Amino acid sequence: MRVLITGGAGFIASHLADYLLENGHSVVALDDLSTGRHSNVEHLLGGPNFEFVLGSILNPDVVDDVVGRCEAVFHLAAAVGVHLIVNHPLRSLATNIRGSEIVFEKANKYGTRVLVTSSSEIYGKNRSDRLHEDDDRILGSPLKSRWAYSEAKAIDEILAYTYWKEKGLPAVIVRLFNTVGPRQTGAYGMVIPRFVAQALRNEPITVYGDGTQTRCFCYVGDIVRALAALIEHPDAYGRVFNLGSDDEVSVQRLAEIVREEAGSHSEIQNVAYEVAYEEGFEDMARRVPDTTRARELVGFKPTVGLREIIRLVIEEQSLAL
Ligand code: UDP
């Protein structure tokens, strides 16, 4: 298959490109390099089955051209990272809403199957034991950037679902929970690359809030395998799937593990949310996915534990020091 990946130079997208190429597919990566990085795909450039297209999903002509040449679309281009969303809300909304509309419109024009990556942010403040795909969303005011982001992702989901329902477009929706691994940048807020960078420099590790909030971190390699399986499964169309780990850890404990694994002397420092983000910022207290649906359909199962993931990120960042 020739496959288009929007946001193809991003962290998850570049791992997906590696995986698809290893499995005999051709990949066209579309990226405007706003947050994606050339270095993520540098090793693929010049390969016979890889094409990099510098362009934006906001440009309908570019999207038309690349979608028209591919048999499947992984739509991963999006504004990501809580810092980015808080600091550039308009740009984030345009990318996430208008960009997705253009991608779905073109996929529908050519009848090309599409998988869109949504986010666990969809569930907002719902802190259930295990978030199931049908669970309620609990959101604050849409005037707060974080909830605006959640709304934008919900619109992506509604668009994909409605194209499937009304037009028969084969569309799969995936809600990604915290996905981590090498090539993820800390520049937009992601906690693991930030903690590792701080630990390696023996600088204070900045835990936002009191550190009791929990997350589950899944290795990117486990996620991309599931993305590839889902887009090929006819029973996935018109449905939404959670993907993520259910191994829950508090952010305070995460800081301790990173410090331990890095052999660092960093102190662990608490930073108030309003200092880290903005006045009135609300964090999710916990976020644990129920991934039964993806397990039952495509055998999804995380295989890389938290310490191993952290070691891989430490290894990568140590090389760059
Ligand atoms: N976080 C932190 N220090 C940082 C960056 C993030 O304590 O330097 C916290 C953040 O407030 C959140 C958790 O780590 O509670 C995960 O943050 P991330 O941005 O990686 O993902 P998300 O908030 O989307 O789950």
pLDDT tens, position by position, 153-211:
999 999 999 999 999 999 999 999 999 999 999 988 899 999 999 999 999 999 999 99
Give the distance (Å) from ligand 1 centre to CA of residue 64: 36
User: Of residues 149, 163, 188, 237, which has the active-site annotation?
Assistant: 149
Give the distance (Å) from ligand 1 centre to CA of residue 288: 14
Average pLDDT over residues 234-243: 98
Which ligand 1 atom lies nearest to the CA of residue 192? 20
Stronger pLDDT, 53 or 143, i.e. the higher one: 53
Question: Given a cut of 90, is residue 83 above it in pLDDT?
Answer: no
- Any residues with CB less than 8 A from the CB of 95 and at least 6 apart, and which? 34, 57, 58, 77, 78, 79
- What is the band of 214 on the pLDDT scale with cuts at 50, 70, 90? very high
Ligand 1 pocket list (CB less than 6 A): 82, 178, 189-191, 194, 206-208, 213, 215, 251, 283
Fold of 2-180+219-245+289-303: Rossmann fold (3.40.50)
For CA atoms 172, 178, 181, 187, give the dihedral sign: positive
Residue nearest to atom 14 of ligand 1 (CA): 191
Give the distance (Å) from ligand 1 centre to CA of residue 201: 19
Q: Report the predicted TM-score, pTM, of the whole model to 2 decimal places.
A: 0.97
- 161 catalytic residue (yes or no): no
pLDDT at position 84? 82
pLDDT at position 137? 97
Q: Which long-range contacts (CB under 8 A, 24 or more apart) does 200-204 make?
A: 200/262, 200/264, 200/314, 200/317, 200/318, 200/321, 201/266, 202/264, 202/265, 202/266, 203/266, 204/266, 204/267, 204/268, 204/269
Place of tokens 């662990």: 268
pLDDT at position 79? 86
pLDDT tens, position by position, 94-108:
899 999 999 999 999
